[in-house]
Amino acid sequence: MSKRGLSREEKKTKKQKGIVQQSVKEILDELVSDSLVIFDKIGTSNSRLVQRWVTDPALLTKEKQAQLDKAASESEALKAKIKEAKVALKAAEKGREDTAERRKLLASLAEVQATSASLKVELAAFGAADPIMYERKKKAIDVAKAASQRWTDNVSLLVSYLRSMSGESESELRTQLGVPENWDDLDISK
C-alpha cells in the first residue's frame, strides 16, 4: 500500500517529530493568508529571524483595528495636505488671471529681457577695450617679461658654469642643452 498524504486538518493537528518542514511552512502560509495567524518578522537575516504566531481571534481583531486606525489617520493627514495645497494654489493664482493687461505686461517683459540679452552680448564685444581688462593684460605682460629675463639670466649663468667646469665651447653646451643660438635675442623692450 502506498502512503497517502496528510490532509490539511491532520497537518494542523499533528505535533510530533518527523513533520516535513515544507509542509509546516505551507500550512502556516495558508493560515496567514486566511488571517487566522499573524506573522511578524524581526531582524533582517534568516539566521536571526524571530517569529511570533498569534492565534487568538481577539488579538487578531485588535491588531487589524490598529492597522485600520493607522491607515485612517494617514489618510486624514494626506487629505489635510491636499486641502492645504489647494488653498496655496488658489492664493498663488490670485493676480495671475489671464487678462489682456497681464498678457500685455508679459509681452513687455519678454521684450525687455530680449533687449537685455542683446545688450549683454554687445557689452561682451567691447570687453577688449575695457580699461580694467587693459590694465590686467598690461600687468600680465610685465610679469611675463620679468620671467623671461630671469630665465635668460639663469640659462646664461648655467652655460657659463658648465663651460668653466667642462671646458667645452658655448655652442657645444647649447647644442647639448637644446638651446638655439639666437635664444637670447628676444626684443622685450616693447
Average pLDDT, 10 consecutive residues per value, the chain (190 residues)? 67 62 77 69 49 62 87 95 93 82 91 94 76 87 90 86 87 84 65
Q: Give pLDDT, residue 130.
A: 75
Q: Give pLDDT, residue 117.
A: 94
Q: Answer whether 165's CB lies under 8 Å from 172's CB.
A: no
Q: Give pLDDT, residue 49.
A: 40
Residue 70, CB half-sphere, CA atoms under 13 Å: how many?
6
Of 149, 157, 154, nearest to 187 (Cα)?
149
Separation between Cα atoms, residue 151 and residue 175, nearest integer Å: 18
Contacts of 53 (CB under 8 A, 6+ apart): 28, 37, 38, 39
Task: Provide the strand spans (E) within 89-132.
Answer: none
Separation between Cα atoms, residue 163 and residue 176, nearest integer Å: 12
Of 50, 8, 10, nearest to 27 (Cα)?
8
Q: Give pLDDT, residue 48.
A: 35
Q: Give pLDDT, residue 70.
A: 94
Q: Answer whether 162's CB lies under 8 Å from 172's CB.
A: no
Q: Answer whether 102's CB lies under 8 Å from 93's CB.
A: no
Of 158, 189, 190, 164, nearest to 176 (Cα)?
158
